[in-house]
Structure 1
Amino acid sequence: MRVLLLAWLALVATGVHAQYAGQDNGKPDIISRDASIQVNDDDSITVTETTRVGRAAPLPFHRDLALGNRNWSASDVTVLEATQNGEPVETQVDDHAGGVRISTGSTGAEGTREYTLVYRLGHAVVHYGDGDRLDWPVASRSNPLELRDAQVKVLLPDGTAPQRTRAWFRLGTTDLGSHWEENRVRGDEVSLYWPSGLGAGQTLSVAVTYPHGGAAAVPGNASKTPGMAAPPRWVFDGRVWLALLVAYYLAVKFLFTGSAQRKAVIAEYGPPGGYSAAALRLLWHQAYDDKCLAAGILGIAAKGGLCISREADGSYVATRAGDEVHPGLTMDEHILRSSLFTLAPSVAFTRQNADGLDLVESRFRAVLEQRCSRERTASPDTLLLPGWLVVMAALGFLYFGGRDPLQLAAQLIASVAVAGIAVVTLVRFVPHGLLRAIRLQAGVAVAICAAAWATGVDPANGVWMAVLLAAQIFAGWWLPRLPPRDTELLRKLRGFRWYLATAEQQDMDARYKPSLHPELQASLLPYAMALDVEVAWNRRFAGTLQQAGEQGFVTELSQRRAGHTEAAVDLLAFARAMSKSRSTQA
């Protein structure tokens, strides 16, 4: 009989060992986690939780408390008791992965281990309107262990109305609802049960909302002020912000830029009246750039208002020519000519004169933009500003979401204000600053996403943050490539540009005498450069200039130079040197 009893005990022990071995299976599983949470009057909670881990779980044991919508620090956690298999162990609390890590010592026990922690967690309750909300992490993203099941009980303040209390699990950023049969509210007590398992690295949390009662605001803490209305739930949804951003840029496409259907191009054989080459460049590109000043100087030179010469050291010098009041110059060209020769009849385009040229360009740019303001559509840089503000607001909600409303509002105002000031400053003082900084913006976006992931933001929110930044950067590349809004002036400008780029020899011979070809080349060269067709325009004269010289049709300009082709090449070289110089200084 005694032998049979010993055999039976051995079989039972073997079965229990096999059961534990089957549960462990060589994996560092969390077998279960049970927790009891008491809500205190100072917005803190006292948590008693028991975690059972398999024999393969690493030592020491860590308990991570982190949520994407909370910024807990080590000062918010006070460990009251910690045991392993019933024996006391030491603990250490540190900041970790956007939250807090509680590390425990070890008693040296092997096999399945059971850890019990009792700790107080501050700032766990958030006030909104006439309600309170509690969020508590069952498993954080930095947890490398698997969760098989979890049971949570929450003791709310006395007198809490159960009919207005709601409790549910959140898997990542997805609310799983409060309709599960296992989730029950009885008076002041809420019971939740998670039976379906959870993979390592996944985030699971408990959310409980209840009418404002026993949890009073912390004195002196403005972020805990009761009565502040909570923001609507949609502001924490990345899909809504992406739809808003896409809708804005679609509105920009149809309201501020040209449509795909345009009228046929009709050839124009001269520039629109009253506009200088620099003004036409600004209208064509819808923004002031580094070639506008060069186009303005070439336009004055082509009309006889100044002469451009190249010195032995390779620098260029402009000298005033003609009368003080030149009837052929437009208003902006008059102002540019007057600014260039205020101090002397000649000006050298050298580094020593860079400061003076900057002042000249600033005045010329202001006059030019005022001249073209009626015909000019919105600048692409300016159109990007609302998009950046939408993205920054979205990042604020996705990163700081879930805090009490006043603290969230402060974070949003600060982040959007800083970003807005930086972007407006870039647009105001750096021409095409936003459009040129595509690579820089991409680098900033990568840095923001990396920082968000490193600080423990919810993975789903991190993905939406990356998608929104990528969409905004794509808009910076796409927006300048949209055609400008169609106007009568732009239609004439397209016809004139088409003529400069495609005019054939017989057409010019029919419209102009060969003797006029050199003057035609020189007079329209600034407009060709302004519209980016200077190479095609000069190529039209390669075969006729020599013929014109042989027939005796040689003008005063060609007598001073080896030929108009060489003069045009010199002027283009000057324009390119000027454009490169201004671009480098910008």
Structure 2
Amino acid sequence: MPTAWAQERILSDDIEVRVLADGRLDVTERIAIRAEGRIFRHGIVRDIPVRYRDPTGTRVVVDLDVYEVLRDGRPAPWTAERSGNRMRVRVGDARRLPTPSTPVYTLRYRTTRQLGFFDDHDAVYLPAFAPARDVEIARGSIAIALPDAVPVETLHADGATGTVDAPGRDFHLALSAAGTTRWTLARPLPPEAGWTVSLAFPKGLIAPPSRQQRLAWWLHDHRGPLVALAGLVALLVLYVLQRRRHRQGHARDDTTLRDVPPPGFSPGGLRYLLRMRYDARCLSSDLLAAAVDDHVHLLRERTSEGMQWRVLRTRPGAHRLPTLEQRALLTALLPGPGTQDAVVLAPAQAEAVVATWRAHERALRRRFQPALFGVRGGGLLAALAIALLSGATALWLSAEAGLWAPTLAIVAAMGLILVACAIRARSLTAEGERLLAHIQGLRRYLAGDPGTLGGEAAPPPLDVHHYEHLLPYAVALDVEAAWTRRFVAAAGPAAASASVAGLPWYRGVTVTDLERFCRSVGQGLARRIVAARRRGARRTKRRRRDAKDDATR
């Protein structure tokens, strides 16, 4: 190390603290340096701790006001800015210091909230020097003067030097009956070491802050989380209002039942409009409808890995299916005669399942949006504005107060609610409202709700043909269990099981329990599709990542 650099250091740093009667600390700090142009080029940088935890673990946030800065007794240019848990005071300007030189800087500032008020005493806790400085302090002292004289035996002074891992007590201590306590360094303080002092004194010298003052401080310190919480509450209110409108749109007093589906719409399409989003049952119900129409057969079989579903083509011509979405589904799942006539809904066929999911969802979206429902832009924009404004403001305030964790947690919750608002921010067109009324009438009929059946013709008898015809719609509308119970009640348990066991499009495990059959074509089929799709999505991501890695090599 060059000699000049070795000599460049803080010659002395003396801090005098006056405890005022109102609880503020008036601090005068004199810093003498030896400048050689390496570290001290234009002036000094003083980092004053303003956020820390006292010995009791209480979080302390200090309000600091610098009101005078001198160099060799004359005013000096300076700036102050927060840097993490410290207030960084920069003294100097673009002009370089003469070298070598030994200027003396004087900083005067006031702080609040550095007093602790306990049951049997009050105390000053002063983290004077933080570690990780650029140079050592050759000599240093800290003096704390109380407002009034105090018997020495009622004072308790303490302190610590060094680091967290290697604490020390490299200082001398002197107590005065005049109410002044002085700590003096016993040896130079290295750059990696800090210095903290504390002084406990009898109660009654300083009036404790009022409850209103403590509340004001708490509110000021927690501005970031509070702003984030206000934004979260506003988003929740907006979401509840959207959900209420959505329910009001779905809850109707019309008691008309519908025993036939709306013409030209597949079971998956009805579910897509009812929920205004896509899921596995949209696909499974349309696949079930294709089986009922004898375009495919469903084989449920036991394997070493458990139960699995196999889809078998029975006749060519997906174009004969009644709806666009069903044609897209079958074309993607079984591309063409001779190419692939069977597919297993398992992770091994994940790519085919993923392609089918995308094609089916795309067909439904094109058909239903925006013709039958669309996004309500006003509500979504309001939610987005609330989230962005409150989130950005809260993060900015939290950075100043050092309260990142609670604010980030609340902002993350705001993000989840924003997603929920985006899902709910959809509304039906007039044609969509009419279709929804028909869907609800059909759902109530399948569930066995009482009401008046629309139309003049009597409902068809609930035999196996009527049951299987409407089973895909019951699966799509989440009432397959109720629809199956109605069929069992009408036909009898034995006859119903025998009839379903003879269905040509369902093969494999023998049907002996209609409730189990109902769960398999409802929940089981949808779960198999979801499991295969997840595996396919992971494979696609891995393939894209590998391709990107190959491109960057």
TM-score (norm 1): 0.51
Bigger Cα displacement from structure 2, 296-305 vs 245-254: 245-254
CA offset at residue 493 of structure 1?
0.8
**Shift in alpha-carbon separation, 1:237–1:553, aligned structure 2, 3 A:** closer
CA offset at residue 91 of structure 1?
9.5
Which structure has the highest strand share of the two?
Answer: 2
Task: Tell me the secondary structure at the aligned position of residue 362 of structure 2.
Answer: helix
Query: Where does residue 173 of structure 2 map in the other structure?
Result: 108
CA offset at residue 323 of structure 1?
5.0
Say whether the 8 Å CA contact 2:291–2:298 is kept in structure 1. Answer: yes
Of residues 526, 538, 543 in structure 2, which corresponds to 1:579? 526
CA offset at residue 41 of structure 1?
3.0
Once residues 483 and 286 of structure 1 are traced to their aligned partners in structure 2, the CA distance between those partners, rounded to angstroms, is 7
Once residues 280 and 500 of structure 2 are traced to their aligned partners in structure 1, the CA distance between those partners, rounded to angstroms, is 34
Query: Where does residue 347 of structure 2 map in the other structure?
Result: 351
Once residues 582 and 311 of structure 1 are traced to their aligned partners in structure 2, the CA distance between those partners, rounded to angstroms, is 15
- The answer to whether the aligner puts 1:335 opposite 2:279 as a matched pair is no
Of residues 535, 538, 541 in structure 1, which corresponds to 2:487? 541
- The answer to whether the aligner puts 1:317 opposite 2:263 as a matched pair is no
Once residues 285 and 548 of structure 1 are traced to their aligned partners in structure 2, the CA distance between those partners, rounded to angstroms, is 36
Say whether the 8 Å CA contact 2:68–2:107 is kept in structure 1. Answer: yes
**Shift in alpha-carbon separation, 1:391–1:463, aligned structure 2, 3 A:** same
Once residues 372 and 242 of structure 2 are traced to their aligned partners in structure 1, the CA distance between those partners, rounded to angstroms, is 15
Question: What does the per-residue CA deviation read over 1:154-204, in whole Å, with 9 as the maximum and x for residues that have no partner?
Answer: xxxxxxxxxxxxxxxxxxxxxxxxxxxxxxxxxxxxxxxx98747999896
Query: Where does residue 26 of structure 2 map in the other structure?
Result: 34
CA offset at residue 385 of structure 1?
9.0
Question: What does the per-residue CA deviation read over 1:125-145, in whole Å, with 9 as the maximum and x for residues that have no partner?
Answer: xxxxxxxxxxxxxxxxxx999
- The answer to whether the aligner puts 1:305 opposite 2:311 as a matched pair is no
CA offset at residue 311 of structure 1?
3.0
Question: What does the per-residue CA deviation read over 1:446-492, in whole Å, with 9 as the maximum and x for residues that have no partner?
Answer: xxxxxx6xx88377x98787666666656777997999758111111
CA offset at residue 521 of structure 1?
0.5
What letter corresponds to residue 581 of structure 1 in structure 2? R
Give identity over the alignment, percent: 19
Say whether the 8 Å CA contact 2:273–2:368 is kept in structure 1. Answer: yes
What letter corresponds to residue 268 of structure 2 in structure 1? A
**Shift in alpha-carbon separation, 1:464–1:517, aligned structure 2, 3 A:** same
Once residues 299 and 199 of structure 2 are traced to their aligned partners in structure 1, the CA distance between those partners, rounded to angstroms, is 74
What letter corresponds to residue 279 of structure 1 in structure 2? G
CA offset at residue 574 of structure 1?
4.1
What letter corresponds to residue 174 of structure 2 in structure 1? A
**Shift in alpha-carbon separation, 1:34–1:549, aligned structure 2, 3 A:** closer
What letter corresponds to residue 43 of structure 1 in structure 2? T
Task: Tell me the secondary structure at the aligned position of residue 109 of structure 1.
Answer: strand
CA offset at residue 241 of structure 1?
4.0
- The answer to whether the aligner puts 1:268 opposite 2:328 as a matched pair is no
Say whether the 8 Å CA contact 1:528–1:537 is kept in structure 2. Answer: yes
CA offset at residue 499 of structure 1?
0.5
Question: What does the per-residue CA deviation read over 1:86-120, in whole Å, with 9 as the maximum and x for residues that have no partner?
Answer: 99x9997999xxxxxxx996422247544699xxx
What letter corresponds to residue 401 of structure 2 in structure 1? V
What letter corresponds to residue 301 of structure 1 in structure 2? A
Task: Tell me the secondary structure at the aligned position of residue 487 of structure 1.
Answer: helix
Once residues 498 and 274 of structure 1 are traced to their aligned partners in structure 2, the CA distance between those partners, rounded to angstroms, is 20
Task: Tell me the secondary structure at the aligned position of residue 365 of structure 1.
Answer: helix
Once residues 361 and 144 of structure 1 are traced to their aligned partners in structure 2, the CA distance between those partners, rounded to angstroms, is 71
CA offset at residue 271 of structure 1?
1.2
Once residues 129 and 250 of structure 2 are traced to their aligned partners in structure 1, the CA distance between those partners, rounded to angstroms, is 55
Superposition pairs for residues 321-400 of structure 1, below 5 Å?
321-322=314-315, 324=317, 327-342=320-335, 343-374=339-370, 377=373, 387=383, 390-391=386-387, 393-400=389-396
CA offset at residue 286 of structure 1?
1.5
Say whether the 8 Å CA contact 2:374–2:427 is kept in structure 1. Answer: no
Say whether the 8 Å CA contact 2:227–2:394 is kept in structure 1. Answer: yes
Query: Where does residue 47 of structure 1 map in the other structure?
Result: 107
What letter corresponds to residue 351 of structure 2 in structure 1? D
CA offset at residue 391 of structure 1?
3.4
**Shift in alpha-carbon separation, 1:148–1:42, aligned structure 2, 3 A:** farther
What letter corresponds to residue 324 of structure 2 in structure 1? M
Once residues 197 and 309 of structure 1 are traced to their aligned partners in structure 2, the CA distance between those partners, rounded to angstroms, is 77
Bigger Cα displacement from structure 2, 266-275 vs 566-575: 566-575
RMSD: 5.9
CA offset at residue 32 of structure 1?
5.0
Query: Where does residue 142 of structure 2 map in the other structure?
Result: 84
**Shift in alpha-carbon separation, 1:571–1:346, aligned structure 2, 3 A:** farther
Once residues 146 and 479 of structure 1 are traced to their aligned partners in structure 2, the CA distance between those partners, rounded to angstroms, is 59
Say whether the 8 Å CA contact 2:318–2:330 is kept in structure 1. Answer: no
Say whether the 8 Å CA contact 1:293–1:361 is kept in structure 2. Answer: yes
**Shift in alpha-carbon separation, 1:534–1:79, aligned structure 2, 3 A:** farther
Once residues 135 and 24 of structure 2 are traced to their aligned partners in structure 1, the CA distance between those partners, rounded to angstroms, is 23
What letter corresponds to residue 573 of structure 1 in structure 2? S
Superposition pairs for residues 450-461 of structure 1, below 5 Å?
457=401
- The answer to whether the aligner puts 1:521 opposite 2:503 as a matched pair is no
Task: For structure 2, list consecutive stretches of 5 or more residues without a partner in the other structure.
Answer: 1-18, 28-65, 70-75, 81-88, 90-105, 146-157, 185-197, 535-553
**Shift in alpha-carbon separation, 1:268–1:397, aligned structure 2, 3 A:** same
**Shift in alpha-carbon separation, 1:521–1:400, aligned structure 2, 3 A:** same
Say whether the 8 Å CA contact 1:30–1:145 is kept in structure 2. Answer: no
Of residues 511, 514, 526 in structure 1, which corresponds to 2:458? 511
Query: Where does residue 290 of structure 1 map in the other structure?
Result: 280
Say whether the 8 Å CA contact 2:285–2:475 is kept in structure 1. Answer: yes
Once residues 147 and 320 of structure 1 are traced to their aligned partners in structure 2, the CA distance between those partners, rounded to angstroms, is 91
Task: For structure 1, list consecutive stretches of 5 or more residues without a partner in the other structure.
Answer: 1-23, 66-72, 96-102, 118-142, 151-193, 208-232, 402-451
TM-score (norm 2): 0.53
Once residues 554 and 79 of structure 1 are traced to their aligned partners in structure 2, the CA distance between those partners, rounded to angstroms, is 91
Question: What count of residue pairs does the alignment treat as equivalent?
Answer: 394
Query: Where does residue 435 of structure 2 map in the other structure?
Result: 489
Bigger Cα displacement from structure 2, 240-249 vs 370-379: 240-249
